[in-house]
């Protein structure tokens, strides 16, 4: 099967990631930060090395890099950590449920008010739309850096500048951007949340919450951190404050090799390769009159969202699966974005290549689509 569903999780992984995971299981089995013995110390050292790599890549201090289970956990920790005492929050109309649902839950359970900013084709207009929604008690703005449905890149640097001007915490969802764009905190992000298992090529079960330290986060999970154990109060020291319980050392060590892989190839080169495949795919689809591509002309990360006639996208994805191609149909967990696109009923089929895909695979997929009948 050829995988074009890398926006969900990249597969295959680099061989170096698989080797690192295997080595982690067999050699680094200690509980990092929990003991004074060599086994614990070696695991802690490996975790620190990965933390340092992530800090270098995203322009953070090492202590402000927290490991999470995935991007959704990171976003929940960031959003609820800032909004725990109430207030107002702004999100974009392209958000994934990883943002929309925690915000909705805060509204329902804690009375947090929220506004949804419209994203326009004009970046200045988009920033202005966010500006108009700022209220006296707006505490946070959350926005995806790139849509997981169409790949559209949001003007996050402009939105970040706006947040800085108003001393509002800017939380970026980098799940689709990190690894293909050169994202760093220097772009103006206060908190960057991302997945480790997508374009950073780590194993599933890995994510990152990276902060610039400007805003202290309340915790949504408390427990053992290996420090200050005599106190009932959760430690205030980052990153342990956000890392209660035993870390997923095996996944983290694998993520370290994923980060090394991406940094060696560079996000710019990976982006260029994957965009070439997207352009090839879009050109081939353009010859098929039944196919509609969504937002083909926006600045985007390597994703192509399309539909085949009126065929329900899940059905199309299922038919493609039977032909040996893995693509994602439906709503991609982003109902808000689909409402914006007008595709709530049909959904879209999402093509998302990885660095391992090749042109011949894309041609084969386009041929398969051409022969599909409702």
Partner 1 sequence: MKKTLIAMTSITYAMKAKKLLGSLGFYCEIEKTPKNTGSGCGYSIRVKSHPAVITARLDEYGIPYKNVIQTE
Residue among 1, 25, 221, 228 that touches partner 1 (CB under 8 A): 228
- CB under 8 A: which stretch of 32-40, 90-98, 174-182, 278-286 binds partner 1? 32-40
Q: Does 45 interact with partner 1 (rule: CB under 8 A)?
A: yes
Of residues 36, 116, 93, 81, the one with CA closest to residue 338: 93
Q: Does 246 interact with partner 1 (rule: CB under 8 A)?
A: no
Residue among 230, 287, 297, 371 that touches partner 1 (CB under 8 A): 230
Q: Does 235 interact with partner 1 (rule: CB under 8 A)?
A: yes
Q: 295 — alpha (psi -120 to 50), left (phi > 0) or beta?
A: left
- Residue 354 CB-density burial (10 A; 0-12 exposed, 13-18 middle, 19+ buried): buried
Residue among 16, 18, 56, 62 that touches partner 1 (CB under 8 A): 62
- Which is nearer to partner 1, 147 or 235 (by Cβ)? 235
Of residues 29, 57, 295, 90, the one with CA closest to residue 182: 57
By the 8 A CB rule, do 133 and 117 touch? yes
Q: Does 38 interact with partner 1 (rule: CB under 8 A)?
A: no
Q: Does 35 interact with partner 1 (rule: CB under 8 A)?
A: yes
Q: Does 371 interact with partner 1 (rule: CB under 8 A)?
A: no
Residue among 26, 38, 111, 231 that touches partner 1 (CB under 8 A): 231
For the CA atoms of the chain, what is the radius of gyration?
21
Q: Does 245 interact with partner 1 (rule: CB under 8 A)?
A: no
Minimum CB separation from partner 1 for residue 101, in Å? 30
How many angstroms separate the CA atoms of 131 and 91, rounded?
12
Q: Does 240 interact with partner 1 (rule: CB under 8 A)?
A: yes
Minimum CB separation from partner 1 for residue 335, in Å? 38
- Which is nearer to partner 1, 45 or 246 (by Cβ)? 45
Largest alpha-carbon pair distance within the chain? 68
How many angstroms separate the CA atoms of 324 and 257, rounded?
29
- CB under 8 A: which stretch of 44-52, 108-116, 285-293, 344-352 binds partner 1? 44-52
**Per-residue DSSP letter, 100:** H
Residue among 18, 39, 41, 356 that touches partner 1 (CB under 8 A): 41
- Which is nearer to partner 1, 200 or 238 (by Cβ)? 238
How many angstroms separate the CA atoms of 165 and 82, rounded?
18
Instruction: Look up residue 74 and give its two tokens.
Output: 């990171």
Q: Alpha-carbon torsion 298, 100, 201, 256, what sign?
A: positive
Q: Which residue has the tokens 């081939």?
A: 284
Binding site for partner 1 (CB under 8 A): 32-33, 35-36, 41, 44-45, 48, 51-52, 62-63, 225-231, 235, 237-240
């Amino acid at each position: 099967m050829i995988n074009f569903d890398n926006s969900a999780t990249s597969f295959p992984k680099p061989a170096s990631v698989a080797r690192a995971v295997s080595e982690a299981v067999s050699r680094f089995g200690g509980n990092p930060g929990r003991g004074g013995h060599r086994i614990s110390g070696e695991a802690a050292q490996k975790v620190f090395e990965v933390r340092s790599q992530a800090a270098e890549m995203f322009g953070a201090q090492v202590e402000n890099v927290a490991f999470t289970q995935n991007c959704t956990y990171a976003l929940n920790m960031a959003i609820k950590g800032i909004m725990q005492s109430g207030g107002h929050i702004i999100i974009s109309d392209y958000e994934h449920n990883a943002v929309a649902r925690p915000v909705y839950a805060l509204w329902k359970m804690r009375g947090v008010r929220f506004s949804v900013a419209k994203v326009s084709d004009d970046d200045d207009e988009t920033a202005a739309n966010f500006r108009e929604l700022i209220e006296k008690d707006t505490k946070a703005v959350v926005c995806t850096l790139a849509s997981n449905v169409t790949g559209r890149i949001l003007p996050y640097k402009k939105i970040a500048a706006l947040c800085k001007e108003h001393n509002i915490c800017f939380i970026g969802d980098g799940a689709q951007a990190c690894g293909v764009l050169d994202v760093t905190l220097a772009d103006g992000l206060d908190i960057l949340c991302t997945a480790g298992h997508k374009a950073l090529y780590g194993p599933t079960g890995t994510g990152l919450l990276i902060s610039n330290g400007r805003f202290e986060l309340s915790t949504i999970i408390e427990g053992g951190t290996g420090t200050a154990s005599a106190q009932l109060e959760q430690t205030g020291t980052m990153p342990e404050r956000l890392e209660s319980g035993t870390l997923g050392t095996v996944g983290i060590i694998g993520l370290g090799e994923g980060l090394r892989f991406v940094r060696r190839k560079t996000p710019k080169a990976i982006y260029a390769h994957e965009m070439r495949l997207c352009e090839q795919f879009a050109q081939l689809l353009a010859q098929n009159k039944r196919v509609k591509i969504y937002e083909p002309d926006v600045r985007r990360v390597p994703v192509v969202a399309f539909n085949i006639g009126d065929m329900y996208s899940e059905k199309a994805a299922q038919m493609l699966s039977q032909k040996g191609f893995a693509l994602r149909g439906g709503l991609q967990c982003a109902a808000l974005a689909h409402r914006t696109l007008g595709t709530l009923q049909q959904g879209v089929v999402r093509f998302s290549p990885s660095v391992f895909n090749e042109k011949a695979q894309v041609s084969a997929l386009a041929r398969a689509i051409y022969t599909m009948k409702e």
